[in-house]
Structure 1
Amino acid sequence: MTSAEAADLVDRYTPLVRSVAAGWGGRFPWLADDFLSDALLATWRATPRHDPTRLPYPAFVRVVARRACAARLLVERRRNPAALGRRAVPLDADGSPVDLAELLADPHPRPPEVLERTEEAATAAELLAALPARQRDLVLRAFAGETKTELGEGLGVSRSRVYQLVKRSVAAMRAAAAG
């Protein structure tokens, strides 16, 4: 295959590469441009090696683009593993995660606010204690920041089932609080 033929193929199938990269970018929007760039470059580099007897070119392009996007994701996972969880985790200058609750906390709370927080904490503790042990543990871990995927792996259930369980547990606590 000549370089002109390769360039023509890449140009014709660029929308397919964009589509594959956009699929990955939908899940990780902050990496969308990187996915597209890596997928296009990988397609450009791999096209001269394409063997039409083994795989049609569109299928070849999908495989190359997916592998490029997966490789980008691995690079990003090494840089900041926490950012690829359910929610991104900001990092400070030395690369350690920033505790947003600590940053946003009022360093000098006024006494009525302290009393209100203490009463709310006591009420929450009572409501949590009323839950069965499995639900209590799930709610505490969810509000501590574990992702639904991590919780699901620990319980042996799907992410959507974890969402249902947390929602049901919080609803039970709200119902108990309402009286």
Structure 2
Amino acid sequence: MKRPWQSLCLLIVLGPLLISVVVRTLGWQVLLGNNGVLNDALQALHITSEPIRLVFTMTGMVIALTHVLVPFMVMSVWATLQKLNPQVEWAGLSLGGSPLRVFRRVVLPQIMPGVLSGPITVFAPSASAFATPALIGGRRLKVVATAAYDESRHAELAARREHRAAAADREHRGRDGSQPTRRTPL
């Protein structure tokens, strides 16, 4: 790839990382909503007669998360491609190898560290993604981050209930733990 196109393609791929998570997610809600740009385009082209439900579905959440996680994979592979010596590829072709065979036998083994480190690099932000699954997936769909948040909220509410019950019991029993004395009306 020539240098000017390489820079432009890299900017297009890395562009999603330059936008705030909340702004990007709200943009996906506008695109994927029932009255969103995507559904309007599909109906205008007569591909569908009714809007396709993409917000609050796993499909919509996967689309939005893929948009932000693909750059991490591309960066990983791109870094290893930059280290690749093009003369080795030319040598394989000049020795009679087909382009597919040269890719499989020469290029792929050299970029394999980037291909293997990409999923590891993608896993961390995908496991900790909270805003996108919460806004696009809603309360019904659970991923690791939203499930952990919900569990912590349930634990916090349970602790508050226990604290209130214990305080009410102490108030009922009196400060020293004895049974409350009956008060006679005046």
TM-score surpassing 0.5? no
TM-score between the two structures when normalised by the length of structure 2: 0.28
Which has the higher relative contact order, 1 or 2, with Cα contacts under 8 A spaced 6 or more apart? 2
TM-score between the two structures when normalised by the length of structure 1: 0.29
Return the index of the structure with the highest Cα Rg. 2
